[in-house]
């Protein structure tokens, strides 16, 4: 996918304790139209000082660093959220690194790029491709272009000052009038789609919903290793059952099932009110797990499914939501001001398949009502 660069260069601070990696990232960013490296730092304390002094638009941040690690950097700059830059984590892709990266997302980082894993050494070409994609995501937030590719050929969207808060960049116009959902009995399954911003948003949605009287299945765009860490972190944060789904797993009420990264998941009806998950790694879907596949299977298999579309770029979930809406099933979407990226909710709203547009906590409460959860 080709992204239109921002009209004015966005400034980037490179933070990594490896001089080689700093030079490599500096080259990648410098060769990407629309971005300019404003500085670099080799440890966390120097990073905090550079962020406060240079006020970059974007920071690429390592986790494992001397003096102060990446988590410490995020905690140090978080109190000044109104002037904080957007942070993209660029870190080792290990089991421990996955847990720390999810912590970083909870502290305000918007996305992440693996620079190595437990199974392969650093691949700078892959790092470059991923980083350019994440820079485009950050640019979408900073310039208000929350659906990329979005601007016309002139690409004249103004660059946002780093002093503004990301939430202020979303469209000021209210969303389209919601599509009314018919009154029905309690939902028998809840399906949720999320991407960039999802790990930060899911706890807010799930807290008032869980434990849910119906099974909950989440398609979060995430690499394979991170899905298990995401399930563990959500379980610890919420105090409810959250598991990484397995092929053939019977879906349990009161449990949140996170689809594994890299796998698509389909709902299968075993008998009335009882469902299982079928996982597959094939298919041509850009995102795996794919929300359209999950939603369509819910529309085919469940009697009263309900769905929610959370923060993320693109339109995954819209076609699956259409299948649900055609059956009269409720589809909810996240509000623009509460989403890191409003692309996925907006695409579904524009398609006329959304019943209600709510902030995360209210969305969770509405899902709880739809499933018949006692107040």
At 276-328, the pLDDT tens digits run: 999 998 666 567 899 999 999 999 999 999 999 999 988 999 999 999 999 99
Higher model confidence: residue 140 or residue 325?
325
Higher model confidence: residue 153 or residue 331?
331
pLDDT at 112: 87
CA atoms of 194 and 213, how far apart (whole Å):
21
Q: Which range has the worst mean pLDDT, 31-40, 145-154, 293-302, 352-361? A: 145-154
**Domains in the chain, start-ordered, CATH in brackets?**
10-166 (3.40.50.2300), 189-370 (3.40.50.180)
Q: What percent of the chain has pLDDT over 70?
A: 81
Catalytic residue of the set 57, 111, 188, 316: 316
Higher model confidence: residue 322 or residue 375?
322
pLDDT at 266: 97
Residue 140 predicted with pLDDT over 70: yes
Catalytic residue of the set 91, 194, 195, 229: 195
Whether 161 sits among the annotated catalytic residues: the reply is: no
Whether 227 sits among the annotated catalytic residues: the reply is: no
At residue 82 the predicted structure's pLDDT band, cuts being 50, 70 and 90, is: low
Please compute the mean of the pLDDT values over residues 67-76 and round it to a whole number. Answer: 93
Residue 346 predicted with pLDDT over 70: yes
At residue 267 the predicted structure's pLDDT band, cuts being 50, 70 and 90, is: very high
Asked if residue 308 lies in contact with residue 356, where contact means CB atoms within 8 angstroms, the answer is no
Residue 164 predicted with pLDDT over 50: no
pLDDT at 126: 78
pLDDT at 313: 86
Among 247, 299, 253, residue whose Cα is nearest residue 273 = 253
Higher model confidence: residue 304 or residue 110?
304
Residue 269 predicted with pLDDT over 80: yes
Higher model confidence: residue 77 or residue 254?
254
At residue 97 the predicted structure's pLDDT band, cuts being 50, 70 and 90, is: low
At residue 117 the predicted structure's pLDDT band, cuts being 50, 70 and 90, is: low
Q: What is the pLDDT of residues 35-62, one digit of tens each?
A: 999 999 999 999 999 999 999 999 999 9
Q: Which range has the worst mean pLDDT, 23-32, 217-226, 235-244, 352-361? A: 217-226
Contacts of 283 (CB under 8 A, 6+ apart): 264, 290, 293
At residue 152 the predicted structure's pLDDT band, cuts being 50, 70 and 90, is: very low
Catalytic residue of the set 170, 221, 257, 287: 221
Residue 92 predicted with pLDDT over 80: no
Mean pLDDT of the chain: 84
Residue 155 predicted with pLDDT over 60: no
Please compute the mean of the pLDDT values over residues 325-338 and round it to a whole number. Answer: 94
Please compute the mean of the pLDDT values over residues 169-176 and round it to a whole number. Answer: 46
Whether 232 sits among the annotated catalytic residues: the reply is: no
């Amino acid at each position: 996918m080709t992204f239109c660069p921002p009209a004015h260069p966005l400034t980037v601070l490179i933070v990594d304790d490896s001089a080689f990696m700093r030079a490599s990232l500096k080259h990648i960013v410098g060769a990407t139209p629309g971005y300019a490296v404003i500085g670099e730092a080799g440890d966390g304390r120097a990073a905090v000082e550079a962020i406060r002094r240079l006020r970059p638009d974007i920071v690429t941040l390592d986790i494992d660093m001397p003096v102060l690690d990446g988590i410490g950097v995020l905690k140090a700059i978080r109190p000044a959220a109104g002037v904080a830059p957007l942070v993209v984590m660029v870190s080792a892709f290990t089991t421990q690194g996955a847990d720390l990266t999810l912590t970083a997302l909870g502290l305000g980082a918007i996305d992440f790029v693996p620079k190595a894993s437990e199974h392969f050494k650093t691949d700078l070409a892959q790092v470059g491709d991923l980083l350019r994609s994440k820079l485009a995501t950050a640019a979408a937030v900073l310039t208000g272009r929350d659906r990329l590719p979005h601007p016309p050929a002139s690409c004249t969207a103004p660059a946002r000052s780093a002093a503004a808060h990301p939430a202020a960049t979303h469209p000021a116009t209210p969303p389209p009038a919601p599509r009314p959902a018919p009154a029905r009995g309690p939902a028998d399954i809840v399906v949720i789609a999320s991407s960039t911003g999802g790990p930060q948003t899911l706890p807010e949605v799930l807290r008032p919903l869980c434990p849910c009287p119906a099974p909950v299945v989440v398609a979060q765009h995430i690499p394979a290793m991170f899905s298990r860490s995401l399930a563990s972190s959500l379980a610890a944060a919420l105090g409810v059952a959250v598991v990484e789904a397995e092929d053939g797993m019977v879906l349990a009420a009161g449990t949140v099932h996170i689809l594994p990264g890299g796998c698509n998941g389909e709902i299968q009806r075993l008998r009335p009110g009882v469902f299982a998950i079928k996982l597959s790694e094939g298919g041509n879907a850009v995102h795996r797990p794919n929300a359209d596949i999950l939603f369509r299977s819910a529309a085919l298999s469940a009697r009263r499914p309900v769905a929610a579309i959370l923060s993320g770029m693109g339109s995954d979930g819209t076609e699956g939501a259409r299948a649900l809406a055609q059956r009269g099933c409720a589809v909810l979407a996240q509000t623009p001001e509460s989403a890191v990226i409003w692309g996925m909710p907006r695409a579904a709203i524009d398609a006329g398949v959304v019943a209600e547009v709510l902030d995360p906590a209210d969305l969770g409460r509405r899902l709880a009502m739809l499933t018949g959860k006692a107040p």
